[in-house]
Amino acid sequence: MPAHDIVLLTATVVPPPDVRNLARRDPKLRLQDYLQAFDFYLALLRAGSLQGLVLCENSGYDLAPFVARARAAGLARQVELIGHHGLDHPAIWGRGYGEFKLVDHAMRQSALIQAQGPAARVWKVTGRYRVPNLARLIATQPTQADLYCHCRNWPLRWTDLYLLRWNQRAYRTLIEGAYRRLQQDDTPTSAEQHFRMLIDGPQAAGLHIVRRFRQVPRIEGVRGFDNRVYQAMRSKWLAREFTHRVAPWLWI
């Protein structure tokens, strides 16, 4: 069976009222963000850059607006929408904990992903964000990699979690149940730092992990932490792109 690239969008339209470090709280604004991103990934699906699109939402929000968009695009058979009431843990445990707990639910419940078996390549994207160069990232990926991600060594050792690509081998070995390792509580260590420690640790032995994307991913959308628009921070992306080209050993 040929390998298929499937995008998994994680979503929380209505965040818990006591969630920390989140400025983007208004469900109406968040829904608008998710729908705009969903339309973007539908266009990639229509263009053939990916073969399936799964959205999994964990606040129990009515997914009818997403159903309508998938049907209007004529792509309903290639789209799967999974509703879930998954916010049954203390908000203090962090958004990384909640997102990867949601990933486990999606990986168990998705018929699209399960139908592909070991051949599926799942691209997890934080669902409010658009990655304009995702088609290029997919086209240039090292297909033999079990886990394909983007790590940084400066100013902190961490892994960007808004975009990851794994196969079933990496998922079963490393990611399934990893949300327990991402729990923050009162520690200043972020989920991104915890995940980096996980993929650099003994549990990852035997996996083929590529820790830097061949293309520097771009992000469009509004950052949840402080409501800043990523497009207004283009200079940061340009600096990373320049460094990636002229000094690829500097992981920033």
In the block, residue with structure tokens 């394909």: 148
What is the pLDDT, as a whole number, of residue 119? Answer: 87
pTM > 0.75: yes or no: yes
Query: 155 preceded by cis ω (within 30°)?
Result: yes
What is the pLDDT confidence band of residue 80, given thresholds at 50, 70 and 90? very high
CATH class of 5-246: alpha beta
Query: What is the pLDDT of the chain when averaged over all its residues?
Result: 95
Q: Where are the domains of the chain?
A: 5-246
First CA to last CA distance, the chain: 37
Amino acid at 139: A
Tell me what pLDDT residue 21 has: 86
Alpha-helical segments (H) within 129-224: 134-139, 168-170, 191-199
pLDDT in tens, 104-141: 999 999 999 999 999 899 999 999 999 999 999 999 99
Predicted pLDDT of residue 226: 94
Structure confidence at residue 1 as a pLDDT band (50, 70, 90):
low
The C-alpha atoms of residue 53 and residue 138 are separated, in whole angstroms, by 14
Per-residue model confidence as pLDDT tens digits over 40-68: 999 999 999 999 999 999 999 999 999 99
Query: b or e along 194-224 (b: 16 or more beta carbons within 10 Å of the residue's beta carbon)?
Result: bbbebbeeeebeebebbbebebbbbbebbbb
Q: Which residue reads 């990986």 in tokens?
A: 107
Question: What's the average model confidence in pLDDT over 165-185?
Answer: 95
